Amino acid sequence: MARAAARHVCQSCGAAFPKWSGRCEACGAWNSIVEEAPREAAPKGLGGAAKAGGRKLEFVGLTGETGGPPRLVTGMAEFDRVCGGGLVAGSALLLGGDPGIGKSTLLLQAAARIARQAPCVYISGEEAIDQVRMRAERLGVADAPVQLASATSVRDIVASLDSADRPAVAVVDSIQTMYVDTLDSAPGTVAQVRASAQELIRLAKRRGLAVILVGHVTKEGLIAGPRVLEHMVDTVLYFEGERGHQFRILRAVKNRFGPTDEIGVFEMGESGLGEVSNPSALFLGEHSTEVAGAAVFAGIEGTRPLLVEIQALVAPSPLGTPRRAVVGWDAARLAQVLAVLEARGGLAFAGNEVYLNVAGGLRIAEPAADLAVAAALVSSLTERPMPQATVVFGEIGLSGEIRPVGHVATRLKEAAKLGFAEAWVPRSRASGRSQAKSAGAGELGIKVRELEHVRDLVIAFQDQVRTGQFVPVRRGGAPAGP
């Protein structure tokens, strides 16, 4: 019998090829194809004998009484919020993030909380036991009854956990260091990551324990390995944050047992990660005087209202092609807002450099931030600050109209709680009563200014100054009408 030939697998997408090449034809990645040895015996298909000996499935209807999955509350409110209320028995959770962002610190603190109420093991494939103990002492959780182990063999891990006295939670740090001895490829390859995750997930489903896997990310910010790894697990969390900021964002992008796009906010300190119960107060800038180019956006992250400051700087450019730099927002969305302000609002940004920043290192993907970004841009261009204690939210269309957004009452309540007295909101054209008034803005003590078009935004800044000090200019030099 001829020996099976080795195959070459792309480490980015998992595509297999008969020979090596510098560029993957499936995903276009360069130098991502690695040779992997074949298995000694290929898996056999189901023949007639196997089909005859199979167990018949019992089918049930859609209706019936099904209790909610029991959850294990860790005690970390921000972590439990992102998980949907706690860890579900028999589930698999994948946590990804940049190197050094604090993934191991977060999970070690969570494991220490869990171990005080249920058995918990922490298996490290990257650090020795002494290194983990040193981190525990620095975090102040050395007295927690966490069971530690340093291993990379999936066979040994499964043999240790597949017993009657199994723990309730198992943390594996990280999945890229694990290997299955039935494969000849090196740890970290697509085949090893997929096989290791499959064995650990099968163990979690069979024994009813919650498995938390740590995953490395690529330079694009995605979890290393094929996307099939994210499809195999029940929950996918990303730990985000800028190196220069002390804030960390735990974001859920997939959750079979809870809401997605939920976030938890942590603050990195000397004694580890601390929970931030009121992140809106931290993401707002503190200015002793009014500053042009700053607007406060009332956003929604999952089920949590969040107020964040958006900063813009518009300055004359000596270059033929002015720069457009964005931190914390979509660059394509900024280009769209600038085009609408020029074409529909009569403002000239063509000869200016534009810099946009979301304070605190937070990343915003909500379309409702369009109006706050536009307000910060107009404020910087005209050198006129926003009115004090004012929040802004709304979506901008290509024709210049400002579209209504959801969760208006939640946004206004958060703004009122932090002392804001005015809100610039979209005007609702579908019904006779505005969204802000329906949300009870008057009872909250917030003055509402409704905007229907980007021209209304320009006029709002004209109202802040004396007549004649600010005249918007259309492209071509002609003054713009109101």
Domain assignment present for residue 52? The answer is: no
The tens digit of pLDDT for each residue in 38-62 reads: 655 555 555 555 455 667 888 888 8
The tens digit of pLDDT for each residue in 188-236 reads: 888 888 899 999 999 999 999 999 999 887 666 566 555 678 889 999 9
Question: Are residues 122 and 235 both part of a single domain?
Answer: yes
Tell me the C-alpha distance between 239 and 212, whole Å.
14
Question: Are residues 13 and 87 both part of a single domain?
Answer: no
List b or e across 168-206, with b for residues whose CB sees 16 or more CB atoms inside 10 angstroms: bbbbbbbbbbbbbeebebebbbbbbbbbbbebbbebbee
Determine the 3-state secondary structure of 313 from DSSP: strand
DSSP string, 217-237: B-TTSSBSS-THHHHHSSEEE
Left (φ > 0), alpha (ψ -120 to 50) or beta: where does 31 sit?
A: left
Q: Flag whether pLDDT at 167 surpasses 80.
A: yes
Question: Are residues 168 and 288 both part of a single domain?
Answer: no
Q: Among 227, 253, 277, identify where a domain stops.
A: 277
Task: State the pairing for strand pair 390-392/352-358.
Answer: unpaired
Q: Are 194 and 235 in contact (CB under 8 A)?
A: no
Residue 297, beta-bridge partner list:
308, 392
Q: Flag whether pLDDT at 471 surpasses 80.
A: no
CA distances from 267 to 113, 180, 282 (A): 18, 37, 10
Share of the chain above pLDDT 90, in %: 49
The tens digit of pLDDT for each residue in 75-87 reads: 899 999 999 999 9
Tell me the C-alpha distance between 207 and 270, whole Å.
37
Domain assignment present for residue 478? The answer is: no
Question: Are residues 340 and 404 both part of a single domain?
Answer: yes
- 67 CB neighbour count, 10 Å cutoff: 5
Q: Are 114 and 254 in contact (CB under 8 A)?
A: no
Query: Which tokens in the block code for residue 466?
Result: 């004396």
Tell me the C-alpha distance between 37 and 189, whole Å.
12
Q: What is the pTM of this model?
A: 0.75
Residue 316, beta-bridge partner list:
352
Q: Are 33 and 9 in contact (CB under 8 A)?
A: yes
Question: Are residues 344 and 290 both part of a single domain?
Answer: yes
Domain assignment present for residue 63? The answer is: no
CA distances from 200 to 57, 190, 465 (A): 25, 16, 64
Determine the 3-state secondary structure of 310 from DSSP: strand
CA 428 to chain centre: 30
Least confident of 241-255, 393-407, 425-439, 441-455: 425-439
Q: Flag whether pLDDT at 4 surpasses 80.
A: no
Determine the 3-state secondary structure of 474 from DSSP: coil
Residue type, 165: D
Question: Are residues 3 and 119 both part of a single domain?
Answer: no
The tens digit of pLDDT for each residue in 275-329 reads: 988 888 777 766 555 789 999 999 998 788 899 999 999 999 888 889 999 999 9
Q: Flag whether pLDDT at 377 surpasses 60.
A: yes
Length, in residues, of the chain: 482
Strands (E), 256-303: 263-269, 272-275, 294-301
Domain assignment present for residue 231? The answer is: yes
Q: Which of 232, 291, 244 is nearest to 268 (CA)?
A: 244
Residue 95, beta-bridge partner list:
214, 237
Domain assignment present for residue 476? The answer is: no
End-to-end CA distance of the chain: 84
Tell me the C-alpha distance between 446 and 59, whole Å.
56
Cα-trace Rg, the chain: 27
For the domain that residue 140 is a member of, what is the CATH number?
Answer: 3.40.50.300
Structural domains of the chain, count: 3
Q: Quick one: pLDDT at residue 336?
A: 96
Q: Are 416 and 306 in contact (CB under 8 A)?
A: no
Q: Which domain holds residue 4?
A: 1-37
Q: Are 96 and 238 in contact (CB under 8 A)?
A: yes
Q: Quick one: pLDDT at residue 475?
A: 35
Question: Are residues 306 and 448 both part of a single domain?
Answer: yes
Q: Among 253, 277, 301, identify where a domain stops.
A: 277
Question: Are residues 290 and 434 both part of a single domain?
Answer: yes
CA distances from 286 to 290, 297, 364, 408 (A): 10, 15, 20, 25
Question: Are residues 140 and 195 both part of a single domain?
Answer: yes
Domain assignment present for residue 176? The answer is: yes
Question: Are residues 273 and 290 both part of a single domain?
Answer: no
Strands (E), 51-162: 71-72, 87-88, 92-97, 120-124, 147-150
The tens digit of pLDDT for each residue in 94-112 reads: 999 888 889 999 999 999 9
Q: Quick one: pLDDT at residue 216?
A: 82
Instruction: For residue 92, report the phi and psi dihedrals to the nearest 5 degrees.
Output: -120, 125
Report the run of H or E that residue 308 belongs to, with start and end.
strand 304-316
- 70 CB neighbour count, 10 Å cutoff: 11
The tens digit of pLDDT for each residue in 14-31 reads: 788 888 889 988 888 888
Question: Are residues 362 and 410 both part of a single domain?
Answer: yes
Question: Are residues 220 and 259 both part of a single domain?
Answer: yes
**Residue with tokens 């946004």, as numbered in its chain:** 411
Q: Among 277, 295, 321, identify where a domain stops.
A: 277
Domain assignment present for residue 332? The answer is: yes
Domain assignment present for residue 247? The answer is: yes
Report the run of H or E that residue 132 belongs to, with start and end.
helix 129-139
